[in-house]
């Protein structure tokens, strides 16, 4: 197996990384605490990210993109997440869950209609997979779509859907049971398809936003679909392949989430190291205390390991090699690094780390979801175990 990787960024990637870093310091950081406290969506920040071309990074120019690659998106996510995970997840979900399914599986007509506004950041899209009894278990999907003439009629509910209720959200792609499929052994299973649902369609309702522990400036809603009618041509991809296609989207998305989590882990390192040099007790900076300096050193080791893991997974994906297991490993390592570093950074800050307006306090609240969303830690362990031939 060829494990060669070039960890030296190209000039283009390095320039992007530096540009996003400057943007986070000049635009994102000054308003992050206020948006978090108010639970308000940062429309002005998202608009500027759109103008920078961040939402179009991995898409071709003919559909309004920047003609870059998925690794470029990951680098942007890492920089954003150092300062504000809510802003980072808005970009990640807008690209990997909103626009990417249309890019991967849509017809040319669907791409022409939806992608230009999504890749520009003028509009957002969400992906409606999770339900109260379905997520990792697609068999629990209860939302149904029935063909009535040349229209799909959709009824059901969705849970925890990111970017689904903003004033710039244009559509949500939903998974729905569209029939039954016959298995070789004679049994049947649910036929699950994906359908594009514009948010202004009668019967589509974004219910009141969740009161979350973290990611307070990110938009997340439960959805209700009651007699929603959309054209038959709004079917995304092949009928019955909706969940299977989305699993591929999730594999890619796990790399992006790992990049975001790496940024969160590194942000905690940066804040803790800065504070340890400034904060004095008993006449000396607390960073001179070995207990503190070793704690921060271990934090840096976690962030570094997480970065190597997502770089590896991204390299494999871009080279067309299998990357499912490596994506799961990256997501596992990075998610745990973010949570562990947030805890340790809060300890370094002491009482100040318990004040919500501090960056480390936000990371402490925000990072837990990185062990849950887009595949729990347990799901990642299951995937890794299966790759080793273990019955998980």
pLDDT in tens, the chain (392 residues): 233 345 679 999 999 999 999 999 999 999 999 999 999 999 999 999 999 999 999 999 999 999 999 999 999 999 999 999 999 999 999 999 999 999 999 999 999 999 999 999 999 999 999 998 877 776 789 999 999 999 999 999 999 999 999 999 999 999 999 998 877 887 888 899 999 999 999 999 999 999 999 999 999 999 999 999 999 999 999 999 988 888 888 899 999 999 999 999 999 999 999 999 999 999 999 999 999 999 999 999 999 999 999 999 999 999 999 999 999 999 999 999 999 999 999 999 999 999 998 999 999 999 999 999 888 999 999 999 999 999 86
pLDDT at 239: 95
Indicate if 249 and 362 belong to the same structural domain: yes
The answer to whether position 68 is within a domain reads yes
User: What contacts 145, CB < 8 A, 6 or more positions away?
Assistant: 152, 153, 154, 176, 177, 178, 193, 195
Count structural domains, the chain. Answer: 3
Helix (H, G, I), strand (E, B) or coil at 356: coil
Indicate if 163 and 48 belong to the same structural domain: no
Choose the catalytic residue: 79, 326, 336, 374. 374
Smallest Cα–Cα separation from 365: which of 334, 343, 332, 347?
343
Domain span at 270: 244-387
Q: Where are the alpha helices (DSSP H) in the chain?
A: 11-23, 29-38, 43-52, 70-83, 85-92, 100-105, 108-120, 242-278, 290-318, 324-349, 359-366, 377-387
User: What contacts 185, CB < 8 A, 6 or more positions away?
Assistant: none
d(CA 205, CA 190): 25
Indicate if 104 and 114 belong to the same structural domain: yes
Catalytic annotation on 233? no
Indicate if 333 and 252 belong to the same structural domain: yes
Smallest Cα–Cα separation from 324: which of 263, 242, 255, 391?
255
pTM of the predicted structure, to 2 decimals: 0.95
pLDDT at 4: 39
pLDDT at 1: 27
pLDDT at 391: 80
Q: Is 227 exposed, middle or buried (0-12, 13-18, 19+ CB in 10 A)?
A: exposed
The answer to whether position 156 is within a domain reads yes
User: 253 and 97 in contact (C-beta within 8 Å)?
Assistant: yes
The answer to whether position 159 is within a domain reads yes
Indicate if 78 and 181 belong to the same structural domain: no
CATH number at residue 267: 1.20.140.10
CATH number at residue 154: 2.40.110.10
The answer to whether position 44 is within a domain reads yes
Residues of 260-275 as b/e, b for ≥16 C-beta within 10 angstroms? bbbbbbbbbbbbbbeb
pLDDT at 392: 61
Indicate if 250 and 372 belong to the same structural domain: yes
State pLDDT tens for residues 317-352.
Answer: 999 999 999 999 999 999 999 999 999 999 999 999
Paired sense of beta strands 144-148 and 151-162, if any: antiparallel
State pLDDT tens for residues 153-172.
Answer: 999 999 999 999 999 999 99
CATH number at residue 120: 1.10.540.10
Domain boundary among 124, 153, 175: 124
Indicate if 184 and 314 belong to the same structural domain: no
């Amino acid at each position: 197996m060829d494990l060669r990787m070039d960890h030296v960024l190209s000039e283009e990637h390095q320039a992007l990384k530096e540009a996003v870093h400057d943007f986070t310091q000049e635009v994102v950081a000054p308003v992050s605490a206020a948006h978090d406290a108010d639970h308000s969506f940062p429309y002005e920040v998202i608009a500027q990210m759109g103008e920078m071309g961040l939402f179009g990074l991995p898409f071709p120019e003919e559909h309004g993109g920047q003609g870059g690659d998925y690794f470029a998106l990951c680098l942007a996510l890492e920089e954003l997440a150092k300062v504000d995970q809510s802003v980072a997840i808005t970009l990640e979900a807008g690209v990997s869950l909103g626009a990417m399914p249309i890019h991967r599986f849509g017809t040319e007509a669907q791409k022409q209609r939806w992608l230009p506004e999504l890749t520009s950041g003028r509009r957002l899209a969400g992906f409606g997979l999770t339900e109260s009894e379905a997520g990792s278990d697609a068999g629990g999907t209860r939302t149904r779509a029935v063909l009535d003439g040349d229209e799909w009629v959709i009824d059901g509910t969705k849970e925890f859907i990111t970017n689904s209720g903003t004033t710039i959200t244009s559509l949500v792609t939903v998974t729905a049971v569209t029939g039954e499929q016959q298995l070789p052994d004679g049994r049947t299973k649910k036929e699950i398809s994906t359908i594009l649902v514009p948010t202004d369609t009668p019967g589509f309702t974004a219910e009141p936003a969740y009161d979350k522990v973290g990611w307070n400036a990110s938009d997340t809603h439960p959805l209700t679909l009651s007699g929603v009618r959309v054209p038959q041509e709004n079917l995304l991809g092949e009928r019955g392949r909706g969940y299977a296609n989305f699993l591929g989207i999730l594999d890619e998305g796990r790399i992006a989430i790992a990049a975001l989590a790496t940024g969160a882990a590194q942000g905690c390192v940066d804040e803790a190291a800065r504070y340890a040099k400034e904060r004095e007790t008993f006449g000396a900076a607390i960073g001179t205390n070995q207990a503190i300096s070793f704690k921060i050193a271990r934090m840096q080791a976690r962030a570094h390991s997480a970065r190597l893991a997502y770089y590896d997974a991204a390299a494999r994906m871009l080279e067309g090699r299998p990357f499912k297991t490596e994506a799961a490993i990256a997501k596992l390592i990075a998610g745990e690094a973010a949570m562990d570093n947030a805890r340790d950074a809060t300890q370094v800050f002491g009482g100040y780390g318990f004040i919500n307006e501090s960056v480390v306090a936000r990371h402490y609240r925000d990072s837990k979801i990185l062990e849950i969303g887009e595949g729990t830690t347990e799901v990642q362990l299951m995937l890794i175990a299966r790759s080793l031939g273990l019955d998980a």
